[in-house]
Amino acid sequence: MENIQWALELQDVNKTFGSFKAVDHLTLRIGTGQIYALLGPNGAGKTTTLRMIAGLLIPDGGEIQILGQSVISNPQAAKRPLAYLPDEPLLYGKLRPMEYLEFVAGLWGMNATEAYQEAQELLKWLDLWEHRSAFAESYSRGMKQKLALAGALIHKPQVMILDEPLTGLDAAAARQVKDLLSQFVKDGNTVVLTTHILEVAERMSERIAIINKGQIIAEGSLQELRLQSGEAQGTLEDVFLELVGAGS
């Protein structure tokens, strides 16, 4: 067990807004090479947790490590292998997709030739290449989401955290994103995602954590969660509702 390389380790992480505990002594370890789903009802603390992992929010206490590097004490090194895709990603509307991707690649210090090749490959893979002469502001929601995903992938991260990555995507775009994430983990990388679409978590993720009121109330494979909830034959929805209901 001790030889496992952890993509993410959260130890006793806390975050309070005023007197409200959004994340309450949360401890979680996620191994590399898998898709991991973080589920929970509205307001459970999922986005707050992801924002702390991405270094956008400072925890009040606890430790967060990405591939063994501390986000708290060594944020630059820790964040280098990380990509974070928020639920409403920021794009620059007046940039065309190649300009946007080259800009993001520049922020990561990539050389121009490598950035161009990687950007071209990502746009082709996501069916955005034919729309490369349009400004991002003219893109549909799904196209913007795919462009943001390409931006998250441009620096070849090893750990990707995505907040509701399939929201607003049509079936074809959702399939493309799912295929891309599956390929990403097949290459040994790690995906952590939140979703309210429980079938997505059920079908895509190897392991699942359920958060309620800032705490992990269950963690494991679907089979393990079934045992924890007493819903031996249940779908993830049955298991989720049983566990979250019991925790309320």
Ligand X SMILES: Nc1ncnc2c1ncn2[C@@H]1O[C@H](COP(=O)(O)OP(=O)(O)OP(=O)(O)O)[C@@H](O)[C@H]1O
Residue 59, token pair as written in the block: 């925890």
> Minimum distance from CB of 102 to ligand X (Å)?
31
Of positions 8, 28, 45, 59, contacts ligand X by CB under 6 A: 45
Stretch that binds ligand X, among 45-53, 115-123, 220-228, 229-237 (CB under 6 A): 45-53
Q: Tell me: does residue 81 bind ligand X (CB under 6 A).
A: no
Of positions 3, 4, 19, 42, contacts ligand X by CB under 6 A: 42
Stretch that binds ligand X, among 46-54, 101-109, 225-233, 240-248 (CB under 6 A): 46-54
* Closest residue by Cα to residue 189 from 3, 41, 7: 7
Of positions 7, 30, 37, 48, contacts ligand X by CB under 6 A: 48
Q: Tell me: does residue 205 bind ligand X (CB under 6 A).
A: no
Q: Tell me: does residue 68 bind ligand X (CB under 6 A).
A: no
Q: Tell me: does residue 44 bind ligand X (CB under 6 A).
A: yes
If one counts every other C-beta atom within 10 angstroms of the C-beta of residue 183, the result is 11
* Closest residue by Cα to residue 75 from 93, 100, 90, 54: 54
Of positions 13, 39, 47, 152, contacts ligand X by CB under 6 A: 47
If one counts every other C-beta atom within 10 angstroms of the C-beta of residue 246, the result is 12
Of positions 37, 46, 209, 218, contacts ligand X by CB under 6 A: 46
Count residues near ligand X (CB under 6 A): 10
Q: Using the Cα atoms of residue 52, residue 54, residue 56 and residue 62 in order, give the sign of their dihedral.
A: positive
Where helices occur in the chain by DSSP H, the ranges are 46-53, 75-79, 97-107, 112-125, 141-153, 171-186, 198-204, 222-229, 236-247
> Minimum distance from CB of 17 to ligand X (Å)?
3
Say how many residues make up the chain.
248
Stretch that binds ligand X, among 4-12, 39-47, 171-179, 197-205 (CB under 6 A): 39-47
d(CA 61, CA 52): 11
Comparing CB distances to ligand X, the nearer of 153 and 210 is: 210
Inter-axis angle of helices 97-107 and 112-125, nearest 10:
130
Q: Tell me: does residue 17 bind ligand X (CB under 6 A).
A: yes
> Minimum distance from CB of 164 to ligand X (Å)?
7
- Residue 157 · residue 192 · CB < 8 Å: no
Q: Which residues bind ligand X (CB under 6 A)?
A: 17, 22, 40, 42-48
